[in-house]
Amino acid sequence: MSVNQLGVDVDRIWADVMGLAAITDPDRPYTRRSFTPRFLEGRAWLARRFEEAGLAVRIDTAGNLIGRRAGRDPGARAIAVGSHIDTVPSGGRFDGIAGVAAGLEIARALAGTELAHPLEVIDFLAEEPSDYGLSCVGSRGMSGVLTDAMLDLIGPGGEHLRDALRRVGGDPDRLNAARRHDVGAYLELHIEQGPVLESGPIDVGLVTSIVGIRRLEIVFVGAADHAGTAPMDIRRDALVAAAATVSAVRQKAEELAAAGRGYFVATVGILEVAPGGSNVVPGRTRVVIDVRTTEPALTQDFVAAIDAASLGYAHAARVERTGFATLSEGPPVACDPALRQVLRESAQALGLSATDLASGAGHDAAFM
């Protein structure tokens, strides 16, 4: 059996992906930041495609664009397929978009087939980290965990997230209406954003779990002395402690990743140095660490190790570690074994190779 025999038109999926790709900030393809005019243009394009596929289109109070087809059984829970069309800056053509396009094509392919369950295709609002400092805005709203504190977050020009939500068709005063208890299953096709499948090569990855993500901030404070007149033996160089910490992050992450206890990665993605002059000893540094794992115990081991190590490096460099804090934290989420088995059997029926793997990226599925 092939996908064409199922009524799936691969060329049509490609045309949808390219159609959305054309809606981008012209100076930095491919970019559609959530809440921007470009994003709203993409949403309008997608809503038209939903309607052409015979779906009833609405925006829920959490700002999610939903295309729905009723099922035969009025009491049956919906089967939802979706992802997101917003992007990070220069985020590419496929991240999120592939999942929405796949859901749209499923609706088209099943247009002549009677379904017991309702079918929904969802474009979740602001899956990517938004300019308001929050990701997965729409799926948080649909799962009932979008809080007032989150809605009070401030973005560009001093606008609150709650006001931005209104601009895109949501209603922050009626968020409870977006919360769903009638979804029986949710599927999200996504690009891997990694090398495992391509290096196999393997056709399909069956996600066992979505990693928990914790972001740590460490601040070191020393003395911003003159680089030429401060003797080496009395310097208080904050970058020395930060650099040693960066190295320790890599070393500990490699150790935990190789331990066989679960998926684990850690990355120093931000390293700020002040005052930042070539002739000034760094007086302050800020290190932000992104920690991702399927096993919370690994995060605990990692944090304890980096806590102790960074204190030691601060002492050795004659600086103070003035901050060691968790900026954000979310737990890992296991994917449903029964749905994974259905997908495995479907891959076999289509002659596709498949493997189990953890997803190291965050997704709306984690909240669904």
Tell whether 109 is covered by a domain.
yes
Residues 6+ apart with CB under 8 A from 86: 32, 33, 34, 39, 96, 125, 126, 127, 128, 130
Query: Which residue, of 191, 223, 246, is where some domain finishes?
Result: 191
Report yes or no on whether pTM surpasses 0.85: yes
Instruction: Indicate if 185 and 295 belong to the same structural domain.
Output: no
Round to whole Å and give the CA distance between 65 and 90.
Answer: 23
Query: Which 3 state secondary structure label does DSSP give 181?
Result: coil
Instruction: Indicate if 246 and 167 belong to the same structural domain.
Output: no
Instruction: Indicate if 142 and 172 belong to the same structural domain.
Output: yes
Instruction: Indicate if 180 and 32 belong to the same structural domain.
Output: yes
Burial class (CB in 10 A: 0-12, 13-18, 19+), 22: exposed
Write out the residue range of the structural domain in which residue 325 sits.
212-330
Tell whether 366 is covered by a domain.
no
Query: Which 3 state secondary structure label does DSSP give 155?
Result: coil
Instruction: Indicate if 179 and 50 belong to the same structural domain.
Output: yes
Of the pLDDT bands very low, low, confident and very high (cuts 50, 70, 90), residue 4 is low
Number of domains in the chain: 2
Instruction: Indicate if 271 and 175 belong to the same structural domain.
Output: no
Instruction: Indicate if 304 and 236 belong to the same structural domain.
Output: yes
Instruction: Indicate if 25 and 145 belong to the same structural domain.
Output: yes
Tally the C-alpha atoms within 13 A of residue 80's C-alpha that lie toward its C-beta.
Answer: 23
Tell whether 255 is covered by a domain.
yes
Nearest to 109 by CA among 117, 101, 21: 101
Residues 6+ apart with CB under 8 A from 203: 197, 347, 352, 353, 354
Instruction: Render pLDDT for 128-147 as a digit per residue (tens, 0 to 9).
Output: 999 998 999 999 999 999 99
Instruction: Render pLDDT for 255-299 as a digit per residue (tens, 0 to 9).
Output: 999 999 999 999 999 999 999 999 999 999 999 999 999 999 999
Instruction: Indicate if 237 and 171 belong to the same structural domain.
Output: no
Query: Which 3 state secondary structure label does DSSP give 320?
Result: strand
Tell whether 218 is covered by a domain.
yes
Residues 6+ apart with CB under 8 A from 100: 46, 82, 83, 84, 85, 121, 122, 123
Could you check whether the bond before residue 74 is cis, i.e. omega within 30 degrees of 0?
no
Instruction: Indicate if 290 and 151 belong to the same structural domain.
Output: no
Round to whole Å and give the CA distance between 168 and 35.
Answer: 7
Instruction: Render pLDDT for 327-366 as a digit per residue (tens, 0 to 9).
Output: 988 899 999 999 999 999 999 999 999 999 999 999 999 9
Instruction: Indicate if 94 and 238 belong to the same structural domain.
Output: no
| CATH code, domain with 237 | 3.30.70.360
Instruction: Indicate if 47 and 172 belong to the same structural domain.
Output: yes
